[in-house]
Amino acid sequence: MAPLYHKLKERGVDAKVIATAQHREMLDQVLSLFSVKSDYDLNVMKHRQSLAGLTARLCDAIDNVFKQESFDWILTQGDTTSTFVGSLIAFYHKIPVGHVEAGLRSFNRLDPFPEELNRRMASQLATLHFAPTQEAKENLLNENMDEKRIIITGNTVIDALLWIINKKSKELDGIVKKYGLTDQKYILMTMHRRENHGTRMVNTMRGIKRLIKNYRDYQLIFPVHYNPAVRDVVEKELKGIDRIILIDPVEYLDFVALMRDCRFIISDSGGVQEEAPSLGKPVLVLRETTERPEAIRSGVAKLIGTDAESVFENAAMLMDDHSLYQRMSVASNPFGQGDASDKIAESLVRYQ
| Active-site hit among 57, 105, 193, 225 | 225
Supply φ then ψ for residue 146, to 5 degrees.
Answer: -65, 120
Sheet containing strand 283-285, strands side by side = 244-247, 218-223, 185-190, 264-267, 283-285, 301-303
| Active-site hit among 23, 93, 149, 194 | 194
* Torsional class of 198: left (φ above 0), alpha (ψ -120 to 50), beta (otherwise): left
Question: Is 74 within 8 Å of 88 (Cβ atoms)?
Answer: no
Write the burial class of residue 251 (CB in 10 Å: 0-12 exposed, 13-18 middle, 19+ buried): middle
| Active-site hit among 6, 99, 192, 287 | 192
Q: Catalytic annotation on 101?
A: yes
| Active-site hit among 111, 115, 268, 294 | 115
Question: Is 340 within 8 Å of 154 (Cβ atoms)?
Answer: yes
**How long, in residues, is the chain?**
352
| Active-site hit among 6, 57, 99, 101 | 101
Residues with Cβ < 8 Å from 191, sequence gap 6 or more? 201, 204, 222, 225, 230, 234, 266, 267, 268, 286
| Active-site hit among 6, 79, 129, 287 | 79
The angle subtended at Cα 299 by Cα 293 and Cα 304, nearest 5°, is 70
The angle subtended at Cα 283 by Cα 278 and Cα 289, nearest 5°, is 115
Q: Return d(Cα 178, Cα 261) in angstroms, integer.
A: 13
Q: Catalytic annotation on 322?
A: no
Q: How does strand 128-131 pair with strand 264-267? A: unpaired
- The CA R_g of the chain, rounded to the nearest whole Å, is 20
Q: Catalytic annotation on 6?
A: no
Q: Catalytic annotation on 225?
A: yes
Active site residues: 79, 101, 115, 192, 194, 225
